[in-house]
Structure 1
Amino acid sequence: MTTARVSTEPAGVLPRSGLHASLSAPLLDTMTFLNEVTLRYPQAISFAPGRPYEGDFDVARVPGLIETYLDHLRARGLSEDRVRTALYQYGETAGQIRDIVAGMLAVDEDMTVDPASVVVTVGCQEAVLLILRALFTGPDDVLLVDSPAYVGITGAASLLDIPVVPVPGTPDGPSLAGLERTVREIEASGRRARCLYVVPDCSNPTGVSMRREDRTALLDTAARLGLLLLEDNPYGVFSRVRRPTLKSLDTERRVVYLGSFAKTAFPGARVGFVVADQLVAGADGRPPGLLADEVAKVKSMVTVNTSSLSQAAVAGLLLQNGGGLRSANEASARHYQATMRCLRETLAAELPPGSSETAGVRWNDPDGGFFLTLDVPFEADEAALDVSAEKYGVIWTPMRHFHLDDAGDRQIRLSCSYLTTDHAVEGATRLARFVKDRSTTLGPV
C-alpha cells in the first residue's frame, strides 16, 4: 500500500522541493538582475546592461525592412498568396531565411556555410538551449566553459541538468594547458568532456579577444582531445581588429557556431541562429544527416518556429546592406569604441597607478565589444553595489555572477555600450570616486 505524501504548505502554495532544483540556484536570478538593476536606481548612470546603443534605432524603418524582404520573395517568383503565407503562417521549423543568414556569414565572416546547416532561433539563447539538449546524453557528459562565462550558457545547462566545469581563462582566452588538464581529470572520473563554450571576440563578461594563433592552437587542442567547440560570436563585428572566427578556420566540423542579431540588428526582434554542420550517422542504414536537422527536431517541441515577422525584419536589414551587417554597424562600432575609450581614459585620469588610493586597482584594454573588467581591492558584491548606486549614482555588475567558484569577488564588469560618451565620462568619474572611497574605508583584507 502506498502512502500519499501530505504537503505541509498552505492550500494553493507549491512546496519549493516540488520544483526543479535549478530554480533555487542563485545563478538563475542573474539574468533578471542584469535586466532590472538599472530600473532599481533610475537616477544612476548604469554600466550594467549589455544592451546595444539605442541612439540609432528608428521605429519608422521597421515596416520598410519587412517590405524589402517581401519584395525579395516576389523577385524570387513567389505569388502573392505564398508571400502572404510566408509572413502570416507558421514557417519552417529551421527557419525561412537560412539562405540569407548563410549569405551574411559569407559576406561578413568569410565563412562558407550550407543553408541546410543553419537553424534560425528565438534569440541566441534558444540556440544555446537547443544545441545543449541535442548534444548531451546524460549526467556523465560534461560541458566546459571558458571562465568566467556568460550566465546564459551556465544557466541553460543548469535547467537541463548538465554538469558544468570551468576552464581557467587567461588574457588571451582559455588556458590550453588548463583545458587539457581539466579534460584528463574528467576522463579519469569516468565522465566525458563533450564540448567547450567560448566567446573568442570581445568576450562577455571580460572583453577578452583571442589572437589568431591562439584560435588555431585551440582547434588543434580540441581535435586532439575529441572536443566540440561552441563558438558564440555576438560582438566580433565591433572589434577594432578583424580576426577569423573559429568556424572559418575549422576544417574538421569541430565548431558549432552560435550567432545573434540582438547586437547587430535590434534585440526586440529576438532572432539568433546556430550553424551545426556536423554529420550524424543515419538510422537503419540511411546516409548521415546534419546535426542541424536534429537541432530542428528539438526546436519543433520548444518554440515550433521563429517569428516570421521577426525573420522578415532581420532579412530586410541584411538585404538592404548588401547581404551583411558589418557595413551597417560601422557607426555603432565607432560609438562603442568611443565610449570604451572615454571610460578607460577617465579611469586612468581619476585612478592613476602608484597612488595609495588605487593600490590593487587595474583594468584591461579590450579591442572592442561592450565590456571591460575592473579589479578592485575590496569585495565587489551586491552590498557594495547598493552603496555605489545610492550614494555615488553609478551602477556596475559584480563579476562573481559569471564564476562557478569563489573567484571574481574583487572584480567588476563594466558595460559602456548603452551610454553616450558624456555619460561614460561622468559615470567613470563617479565610479572612480566610489572605488577610492571604498578602498580607503575598507583597506586591503
Structure 2
Amino acid sequence: MTIPSARTGSTIGSSRLDVMNFLNEVAQNYPSAISFASGRPAEQFFNLEAWINRLPLFVEHFATQNGLGLETARNLIGQYGRTNGIMCDLIARQLALDEGILCKPAQIVVTAGCQEAMNLCVTRLCRHPDDIILSRSPAYIGITGIADLNGIPIAPFVVDDSTPPAEALEQAIRNARYEGKRPRLLYLVPDFDNPTGTVLSRDARLQMIEVCARNGIVILEDNPYGMFRYNGKSVPTMFSLDTKTCVVYLGTYSKTICPGLRVGFAVVPEGEMPGGQSGAGMLDALSQAKSFVTVNTSQIGQAIAGAILLSQACSLRDLIAPVIQHYRTNRNAMLDSLAYAFSAYEDVVSWNQPDGGFFLTLRLPFEFGREEAEICASEYGVLTMPLSFFALGEDGRNQVRLAFSNSQPERIRTGIERLGMFVTARLHGRRE
C-alpha cells in the first residue's frame, strides 16, 4: 500500500486537460482504429422518438401533481422552473424499486448530469483553505478535474490485496492531518469503479462509513454503473447502509437511459451530517449554488426522463435488461479474447474479471503511457486508456483500462488481437 500526500492535479505530471486533448487528438487522427478508450453507453438502445412521444405522460402527471390544466402544465415545463427539479417524486420511487434506497422527494436535487452534482457537493463542502478531498487512486477523471478547477487538493490512497480499504483510508486521513489538511469528503464509486471495474464489499462499505463518521467526513457515493451487474448478487448501496448520516448519493440517467438527457441528481440524508450541518441545510446550500450556475436542470430533459419512468412503472430494470445482456456479451468476448491473445504470457500479463460495469483493467510487465497508447493507435489500430491517466500518484504505470460497453464482439476480438500483437512485439523486443 502507498499513500501519496495531498496535492492538486497540477503537481501530478500532465494536467487532465492535456490528457483529454491527447486522447481526442489520437481518436481524430486514427478514426478507423478500434476504440477501447471510451466508456460510452451502447447507442443502439437509444429510442429517442419513442421516448419523446411519451412526453404527454409526464405532462399529465405534472398537471395532476400540481392541480393544473394540461396547457398550463405544458407552458410551465417550457419555462424557468424549480431549482431542485420537477421529477423528484419519480426519482424517489425509482430508487426505492431499483436500488433499495428509501428517501423523500424533498431530499433530492436534480442536476445537469452527475457531473454538476459532484461539482456542487465539492464546492459547497470544501470551502476552507485546508479542506481536501479523499479518493482511491486511480480515480474517475471527473472528480479530479473538479478538484483541479477549484484548486482543492486530493489525498489519494491506493488499496492493494494486503490492505483493507478502511485501513488505507484511515492512514490517508492521518497523513493529511499531519500535513495540516482537513479531510472534508470522500469520493467513491463502490460499484464497478471507473476506471478499475472493482466493487467494494459490504463489509468494506460499512467500515468506511464508520471511519468517515468518526472523522467528520462526508461520503460522495457515485453510482452510475450499479444496475449493470452481470454476475453475482448486488451489494447494498452505501446510502442504504448508512446509519451515521454521512453519505450523499449521486445518480444519473446517462447510462440507464442516455447521456443526452443530462439528468442526474444528488440525494442528501436527513438529520445532522458530519461537520454539524443538517441534511436540509446542505440541500439548501446545493440549491442556492445551483440557482446561480444552471438556474434549473432542463425541464424538457426532466419531462422526457420522467415520462420514461412513468411508462416503466418507475423501474428501469425491464428497460435495461437487453442492454445488460449486450454488455455481458461484450465483457465475455473481451475476457475470452484476452485469454486467447495472451495465452503464451499468462505468467506476466493479467486482468481482472468484473461482475458488471463498463471496464476492466489489464496489467502488463512494462510501463504503458502516452507513447505506448499512440503506438497502439498509429501502428496497430486500437485505442486504449493508460491507467496512469487516472492515477493520482505513481501507481498504474503498467496498467491499461479497457472499455467494452460501446462495441461489438467481433470488433472486440479484432481489437484485442491487435493489442496482443503490440504486447508481443514489445515483449519480444525486450527478450532479444
What is the TM-score of this pair, normalised by structure 2?
A: 0.91
Q: How many residues align?
A: 417
- Deviation per CA, 1:96-135, whole angstroms, max 9, x where unpaired? 1111111111111111111111111111111111001110
The question of 1:339 aligning with 2:330 is answered yes
Mean Cα deviation higher: 174-183 or 25-34 = 25-34
SS where residue 171 of structure 2 aligns? helix
Task: Measure, in 2, the Cα distance between the counterparts of 1:32 and 1:201.
Answer: 28
Question: For 1:111-130, what aligned pairs fall within 5 Å after superposition?
Answer: 111-130=101-120
For 1:6, the equivalent position in structure 2 comes to none
8 A contact 1:247–1:257 mirrored in 2: yes
8 A contact 1:359–1:377 mirrored in 2: no
For 2:297, the equivalent position in structure 1 comes to 306
8 A contact 2:111–2:266 mirrored in 1: yes
- Deviation per CA, 1:270-320, whole angstroms, max 9, x where unpaired? 111111225569xxxx99833111101110111111111111111111111
8 A contact 1:358–1:439 mirrored in 2: no
Task: Measure, in 1, the Cα distance between the counterparts of 2:430 and 2:371.
Answer: 13
- The counterpart of 2:235, out of the listed 230, 235, 243, is 243
* CA root-mean-square deviation: 2.4
8 A contact 1:230–1:255 mirrored in 2: yes
What is the TM-score of this pair, normalised by structure 1?
A: 0.88
Structure index of larger Rg: 1
Gap change, CA 1:174 and 1:123, over 3 Å in 2: farther
8 A contact 1:44–1:395 mirrored in 2: yes
For 2:372, the equivalent position in structure 1 comes to 384
Give percent identity, aligned residues only. Answer: 40
Gaps of 5+ in 2: 1-8
Task: Measure, in 1, the Cα distance between the counterparts of 2:149 and 2:195.
Answer: 21
The question of 1:320 aligning with 2:311 is answered yes
Question: For 1:132-211, what aligned pairs fall within 5 Å after superposition?
Answer: 132-170=122-160, 175-211=165-201
Q: What one-letter code is carried by the residue in structure 2 that aligns with 1:40? A: N
The question of 1:426 aligning with 2:417 is answered no
8 A contact 2:62–2:73 mirrored in 1: yes
Deviation at 1:83, TM superposition (A): 1.0
Gap change, CA 1:425 and 1:261, over 3 Å in 2: same
For 1:272, the equivalent position in structure 2 comes to 264
- The counterpart of 2:352, out of the listed 353, 361, 364, is 364
For 1:60, the equivalent position in structure 2 comes to 49
Task: Measure, in 1, the Cα distance between the counterparts of 2:414 and 2:266.
Answer: 39
Deviation at 1:143, TM superposition (A): 0.4
The question of 1:223 aligning with 2:213 is answered yes
- Deviation per CA, 1:323-359, whole angstroms, max 9, x where unpaired? 022221111111111101110111101201xx3x555
Task: Measure, in 1, the Cα distance between the counterparts of 2:125 and 2:19.
Answer: 25
Gap change, CA 1:288 and 1:328, over 3 Å in 2: closer
8 A contact 2:134–2:187 mirrored in 1: yes
For 2:17, the equivalent position in structure 1 comes to 28
Task: Measure, in 1, the Cα distance between the counterparts of 2:227 and 2:278.
Answer: 37
- Deviation per CA, 1:39-95, whole angstroms, max 9, x where unpaired? 332111100101000111223213223222113224444213431233210111111
Deviation at 1:224, TM superposition (A): 2.5
For 1:16, the equivalent position in structure 2 comes to none
Task: Measure, in 2, the Cα distance between the counterparts of 1:101 and 1:383.
Answer: 44
- Deviation per CA, 1:391-415, whole angstroms, max 9, x where unpaired? 2111110111111112211110000
Gaps of 5+ in 1: 1-19
SS where residue 258 of structure 1 aligns? strand
